[in-house]
Amino acid sequence: MAFIDGANLHLTYEYLDWKLDYNKLRIYLQKRLNVRTAYYFLGNTTNSTPICRKLELYGYEVRLKEPTYYATEEEYCPYCWGMIKPRVSRHKSDCDSLLTMDVMANLPSFYQAIIITNDGDFDNLITKLAQQDKLRLVFAPYRKSCSDLLIKAANRRIAFIDDFRKELEKT
């Protein structure tokens, strides 16, 4: 099974000079890493519906998390009291806990897991999986932005998607 931190994966490739082909990634996971089930964790926003449909067509099982809404604080200049930044409504769909809970709930159902993320918040999960010999690989999206905590926890069971650009780039 593969467990994919969708926001982390998407945001990484939004800022790079190449586009990841999610269909090619799914085929790669299946053929090269023997992944039968690939869970893709994503925030449930109005923009996610077309993305979810496309991912499901490619064979991903999409797991959605409801967003938490909040507003940023207004910021004022300490000297003139003029507004620097207005209050803005935002949302956050932090899927880290959902992904972690799904991995732990599915622990008896898989031989070894592949976790796709750059996020150091998963270091404890990765360590636990490795201790139980349940970690096949951390497949981090981008070497330069990968957390040192994640690299250390993976203990050499890590590869970087950007090293496979020729195979996984959208053409």
pLDDT of residue 13: 84
Assess whether pLDDT exceeds 90 at residue 137. yes
- 8 to 23, 75, 95, 134, 135: CA distances (angstroms): 17, 28, 10, 22, 19
pLDDT of residue 66: 73
> Given pLDDT bands bounded at 50, 70 and 90, which one contains residue 132?
very high
Chain centroid to CA 17: how far?
Answer: 19
pLDDT of residue 50: 84
Residue range 40-65: average pLDDT? 88
- Whole-model pTM: value is 0.85
59 vs 85, residue with greater confidence: 59
pLDDT of residue 70: 60
Give the domains, in start order, of the chain with CATH numbers: 2-168 (3.40.50.1010)
Number of continuous H segments (helices) and E segments (strands) in the chain: 7, 10
* Sequence-distant (≥ 6) Cβ neighbours of residue 85 within 8 angstroms: 72, 74, 75
Average pLDDT of the chain, as a whole number: 90
pLDDT of residue 90: 65
158 vs 87, residue with greater confidence: 158
Assess whether pLDDT exceeds 80 at residue 94. no
Assess whether pLDDT exceeds 80 at residue 69. no
Q: Exposure pattern of 104-142 as b/e (b: 16+ CB <10 Å)?
A: eeeeeebebbbbbbbbbbbbebbbbbbeeebbbbbbbbb
